[in-house]
Amino acid sequence: MRRRPETDLIRLFDAPAPGKMNGGDLTETETEEMEGDVELAIIHEDVVYPEEFLPTYQTINQDAALSRPRLAEFNDKPDSLFFNDGARKIDFILVYEDEDKKEFEKRHAYQRRKRRREYFEASLMKMGLELEATQSVIDDKLMFVKVHMPWDMLCTYAEVLHIKLPIQPNDLSSRPSPWRFFDFITKHFYPNEDLIKKEADYFTAPFEKDRLEFFHIADKDSFFTPSMRSRMAYYLLSRAPYEIRGSVKKFGISKLLDSGVYKAAYPLHDCQFNVRTEDPDCPNERFLLYQEWAHPKSFYKMQPLDLIRKYYGEKIGIYFAWLGFYTIMLTLAAIVGLACFIFGYKTQETSTWSKEVCDPEIGGKIVMCPQCDRECNYWRLNSTCEASKKLCIFDNFGTLVFAVFMSIWVTLFLEFWKRYQAQLEYEWDTVEFLEQEEPSRPEYEAKCIYERKNPITGVKEKVPYTGCGRCVRVSLGIGTVIFWILLILASIVAITVYRLAAFFAFSARLRAQDLKELEPLKEYVTPQMATSVTASLISFVVIMILNILYERVAIWITNFELPRTKTDYENSLTLKMFLFQFVNYYSSCFYIAFFKGKAVGFPGDPVYIMGKYRNEECDPGGCLIELTTQLSIIMGGKAIWNNIQEVLLPWVKNLIFRYCTSATEKIIPRWEQDYRLQPYAKLGLFYEYLEMVIQFGFVTLFVASFPLAPVLALVNNLFEIRVDAWKITTQFRRVVPEKAQDIGAWQPILQGVAILAVATNAMIIAFTSDMIPRLVYYWSFSVFPYGEHAQHTMEGYINSSLSVFNTSDFLEDSRPLGNFTNIPSCRYRDFRFPPGHPRKYEFDMRYWHVIAAKMAFIIVVEHIVYLTKFVLSYVIPDVPYAVREQMKREKYLTQVILHETNLKLVTKRLRPVANDDEIKETQAGLSMEELDPDL
């Protein structure tokens, strides 16, 4: 950015004199509004404009009338992508409602919108864009403004945006795939090559208008793809002014859309998605995407990523590439997880400790202590028989193996994704995207009123806030985020209190002997299970409500912080939303896994929360089954809710809109067909990523308690890919193409989740499951002599894991109601000395054995897994060798082209020199700046 010289005062898009607009007279009211609303639009000395703006703005005489787009009648070509002349392509569509057709009492507000719209359209035309307006064939009030970028403007802004374009065909032969021998099988899982042709492979270089002859231009009309043209058009629409008051400039299509000046702005789909167009000017890419990608019949096929990128842009393409890669990697995890589940299911009947729980002679004779005060009664251990069997499905040695496997899997997934992403970066020409200067957001530029010295360039530039102001904005943002996180934690505390109160009520009700209506289900409906299911449902509802509220808060905070570039904006919003979602979705799971049942005391001295509610205890088999229930409800409910939002709502909206406008028999043009579709939200892709990353957390952080999580995620993702494809191809307007090098801030978030997953799974196995206590019993306390050799066994584990409590030691406030004099003692889950021991109810030696084993397990497993992850990360290179070769070759060719261009420029300057010796002598004396004007 540079400062405008003081002597260069240009009147930019001046408003017409009061009383004159478009050659007509204004009413007295309109004149008064205009005099108070629009000032002379002068570029003042204290206004800083981006460097790339200056060549496009042109001087307009103060009294010149504003230009307006040419009106044209619809030519009855429904799939035309051109102006009425059939030569100029439509790069963007603007839609507004004609204010002149409104009732008189509202004309005052509409006249202001009209002036802003006309000012904006004049700005576009003076910048070089060509406009053509057409009236709607359905609604006379609607007007469609078609935007076209001429060749010269395309070349200019391709250079401004550093768009890479082909210079010559790729002459490096690709290495044969190691899987080529299976092509006769795998070809059926790829899109039809007869329909979707393979793109030609070229070396590319950033476009430069002055070196046009070095680029591979076979046809000017197809040199810039429609997505490139739309991207450049949107770049200009985002920066064209619509009002300038003194030193305050207002510009950008986004603000005009928000204020109702325009009803919509979007690029066009190229044809109907379900009908192939025979028009030679229509590429039918939307039809091909629907047939080979979005159609349900193509669910088993790989995605045509190159065509997705070409049609929707790199940002959409990289999302679907990541989602597809994640889904493929989930296949292996799902197979192993399903095998572990089947192993647990097959062994649930043979598990020794579950047999002891269900045995009438063992579990049927063990009387358990009440788990709440006064209202809860004694209960038999075998009443949890079915829950114990179900727990064996998830709490077995196969789960341990699967948890370690998933820790390695997540490392392989991230490392192989880096390699695949590097390949896509090269193929899609985004390798140096973030290294180039990204333009500032229009919202940022509009508020640049302070001046500071750029620490890198040393040039003074405009910024929207001072250093102190930025600290205030960031501090307020951090404070708001912390407040909402504390609000989530408060909701978790409230749900915990509900769990305690609900368990108290369910225990009093479900333990009653006269509960006849639930007699067939009585062995399944335990107080623990009823409390867990209802609390999980309530937790899910609270999560969904807080999501809706916090979404608006996070956007407001990020807008308040005013990040400079769009990448900074998205990264800031991503971090805030993920922190909130992390606490919102996972806090209840962390509570069940690491806090519930860990500090409960013993029946004679229970621990109370807030001095009133007795702390919740786990089932004798542990809290793992409750964690599994929580995960399954949240994952399943979230998937169902997201599908309703993503599929059903836009489909119903489009259906209602079509029904309301289906009475006409007129031919509807392509731009009006697209207007009837749903607009794609600005942060639509952000929420797609967020949904998948939250799922990734469920799959990795708590997989030790739920080995079916990868299976559910795989099934969901297979639907998710096709649902997202169907949605953006058929139900939404075409997305504005955007450039993206990678998945952005989600990459470090995934890496952080992967690191945390190792610790959480090790701690779940150690502290939530009952595996370590069983192993300690098996190897240390269960040696029975059989003949000459000692044999380890799990027999007697249940009796060993339950301590004895004398019922006479109950406090009056916690003693069960009723006459239970026939029960002298009861059992509870812990390792304590029995009554009558000098250290009764204190922890015994078995407790310290188990604690030591748990800590040793966590340390050993974490170190082994982290070491393996480090070795894998070091061994697997981030960029494939073949891609590195091609990148070096492309860089070399770019340098050669630049060198040849510089030589031509030098030769052109030195034409008067007589001979070659003089030319060489003169060249040697030129400076680097003279050889290359761009330096």
How does pLDDT run across 648-660, given as a tens digit for each residue?
888 887 777 777 6
Check pLDDT > 90 for residue 449: no
pLDDT at 911: 59
Q: Specify if 508 maps to a domain.
A: yes
* Identity of the amino acid at 816: P
User: Which one-letter DSSP state was computed for residue 816?
Assistant: P
Q: To 10 degrees, what angle do helices 709-726 and 684-701 make? A: 170
Percent of the chain surpassing pLDDT 90: 22
Which of 339-348, 583-592, 776-785, 794-803 has the weakest average pLDDT? 776-785
Kindly calculate the radius of gyration of the chain based on its CA atoms and give it in whole angstroms.
35
The residue among 152, 153, 149, 160 whose CA lies nearest residue 206 is 160
Which of 152-156, 312-316, 462-466 has the weakest average pLDDT? 462-466
Rounded average pLDDT over 555-565 = 82
Percent of the chain surpassing pLDDT 70: 78
End-to-end CA distance of the chain: 17
Which of 430-444, 612-626, 845-859 has the weakest average pLDDT? 430-444
Q: How confident is the model at residue 500 (pLDDT cuts 50, 70, 90)?
A: confident
How far is Cα 439 from Cα 455, in angstroms, rounded to an integer?
Answer: 18
Higher pLDDT, 380 or 618: 380
Q: Specify if 241 maps to a domain.
A: no
pLDDT at 442: 66
SS3 labels along 716-741 = HHHHHHHHHHHHHHHHECCCCCCCCC
As beta bridge partners, residue 127 has none
Average pLDDT, the chain: 78
Structural domain of residue 547, as residue ranges?
465-553
pLDDT at 15: 34
Q: Tokens 């949107």 belong to which residue?
A: 234
Check pLDDT > 70 for residue 420: yes
Rounded average pLDDT over 770-781 = 86
Q: How far is CA 145 from CA 73, 211, 544, 667, in A?
A: 12, 33, 40, 18
Name the range with the highest mean pLDDT among 29-43, 57-71, 391-405, 770-784.
391-405
Check pLDDT > 70 for residue 902: no
How far is Cα 456 from Cα 437, in angstroms, rounded to an integer?
Answer: 13
pLDDT at 793: 81
Check pLDDT > 80 for residue 473: no
Q: How confident is the model at residue 231 (pLDDT cuts 50, 70, 90)?
A: very high
Check pLDDT > 60 for residue 105: no
Q: How many other CB atoms sit within 10 Å of the CB of residue 558?
A: 21
pLDDT at 929: 41
pLDDT at 55: 35
pLDDT at 849: 92
pLDDT at 505: 75
* Identity of the amino acid at 185: I
Higher pLDDT, 638 or 236: 236
* Identity of the amino acid at 472: V
pLDDT digits (tens, 9 = 90+) for 534-547: 877 887 788 778 87
How far is Cα 922 from Cα 935, in angstroms, rounded to an integer?
Answer: 19
Residue 425: φ, ψ to 5°:
-60, -40
Q: Specify if 526 maps to a domain.
A: yes
Q: Specify if 384 maps to a domain.
A: no
Check pLDDT > 90 for residue 398: no
How far is Cα 436 from Cα 430, in angstroms, rounded to an integer?
Answer: 10
pLDDT at 923: 44
Q: Specify if 245 maps to a domain.
A: no
pLDDT digits (tens, 9 = 90+) for 340-379: 999 988 888 788 888 888 889 888 999 999 888 887 888 8
Which of 297-311, 826-840, 920-934 has the weakest average pLDDT? 920-934
Q: How confident is the model at residue 421 (pLDDT cuts 50, 70, 90)?
A: very high
Which of 126-130, 261-265, 583-587, 780-784 has the weakest average pLDDT? 780-784
Name the range with the highest mean pLDDT among 212-216, 604-608, 755-759, 885-889.
755-759
Q: Find out whether 378 and 820 touch, Cβ atoms under 8 Å.
A: yes
pLDDT at 96: 92
pLDDT at 833: 93
Q: Specify if 524 maps to a domain.
A: yes
Q: Find out whether 61 and 30 touch, Cβ atoms under 8 Å.
A: no
Q: Find out whether 128 and 91 touch, Cβ atoms under 8 Å.
A: no
**Six-digit token string for 167:** 């210079």
pLDDT at 509: 64
Q: Which residues contact 6 (CB under 8 A, 6 or more apart)?
A: 45
pLDDT at 290: 92
Check pLDDT > 50 for residue 11: no
Rounded average pLDDT over 502-518 = 58
Higher pLDDT, 438 or 816: 816
Q: How confident is the model at residue 789 (pLDDT cuts 50, 70, 90)?
A: low
The residue among 394, 573, 594, 395 whose CA lies nearest residue 492 is 594
Q: Specify if 175 maps to a domain.
A: no
Which of 7-11, 578-582, 641-645 has the weakest average pLDDT? 7-11
Check pLDDT > 70 for residue 834: yes
Which of 1-5, 133-137, 427-431, 570-574 has the weakest average pLDDT? 1-5
pLDDT at 744: 84
pLDDT at 920: 47
Q: Specify if 111 maps to a domain.
A: no
User: Which one-letter DSSP state was computed for residue 395?
Assistant: S
Into how many domains does the chain fold? Answer: 1
Q: How confident is the model at residue 514 (pLDDT cuts 50, 70, 90)?
A: very low
Half-sphere exposure of 129 (CA within 13 A, CB side): 32
The model carries a pTM of 0.81
